[in-house]
Amino acid sequence: MSDVARPEDKALILDFGGVISRTLFETHALSEAALGLAAGTLTWQGPFAPETDTLWQAMQADQISERDYWLQRTREVGRLLGEEWTEMQTFVQRARGSDVAAVIRPEAVSVIQQAKVLGYKLGILSNELDLFYGADFRERLPLLKNFDVIVDATYTGILKPDPRAYQACLQALGVVAVQAVFVDDQARNIEGAKACGLQVVTFDVFEPAQSFSKALQRLANL
């Protein structure tokens, strides 16, 4: 008898921002166009040029939180428009416009469809999905209907890498930690998942297809 679990007993759990959606770093041109800014105005590049982004370096060193990073960027961009922005939601919704599908990774769409066909459960574990995108976002992005569970700290107040965040997602999906693969682009969140016993794949924003392929292979081998 095979030791490999049934597909319905396994789960693929994805972070949203940076994994399913392209990062704001990757979509500067779209943001500038949507906001009416000149091309090249937004110069911070996060993981794509960490040596030039001191605020990103501070976040990676755990000197500030991810939310602190984006709040600072939100304020900076608002001031470029002569406005005072105090919520990341304002930045994301204004910068990404009405065509939310334009910022979704095609590789993410592909892996979600593959996982669905293979019979795996699908979950999103996010620190700020609705906080950043707005409460109506899920209706504007039909792709999210493929997910069995969405656990969002916007409502739970429990941020990754708190163990309770991962445990809540596993419980909602009805799977055990060792039968779930978690994908995130932030090292602290990956370490948190590993500490809870999940299988993990660190998402490489430079190689999204490879990262997703690795996640599916891990699931197949569980």
Q: Quick one: CA dihedral 26, 31, 37, 38, positive or negative?
A: positive
Residue in 60, 57, 88 with CA at minimum distance from that of residue 72: 88
Kindly give the confidence (pLDDT) of every residue in the chain, 222 residues in length, as a single tens digit, with 9 standing for 90 and above.
456 789 999 999 999 999 999 999 999 999 999 999 999 999 999 999 999 999 999 999 999 988 899 999 999 999 999 999 999 889 998 998 777 888 999 999 999 999 999 999 999 999 989 988 888 888 889 999 999 999 999 999 999 999 999 999 999 999 999 999 999 999 999 999 999 999 999 999 999 999 999 999 999 999
What's the CA gap between 4 and 7, in Å, rounded?
9
What's the CA gap between 121 and 14, in Å, rounded?
11
Chain center to CA of 75 = 21
Beta strand pairing call for 11-14 and 121-126: parallel
Residue in 194, 191, 160, 164 with CA at minimum distance from that of residue 180: 194
Domains located in the chain, CATH noted: 7-21+104-221 (3.40.50.1000), 28-99 (no CATH)
Question: In sequence order, what are the residues at sequence separation of 6 or more whose Cβ sits closer than 8 angstroms to the Cβ of residue 44?
Answer: 25, 52, 53, 55, 56, 73
What's the CA gap between 125 and 203, in Å, rounded?
14
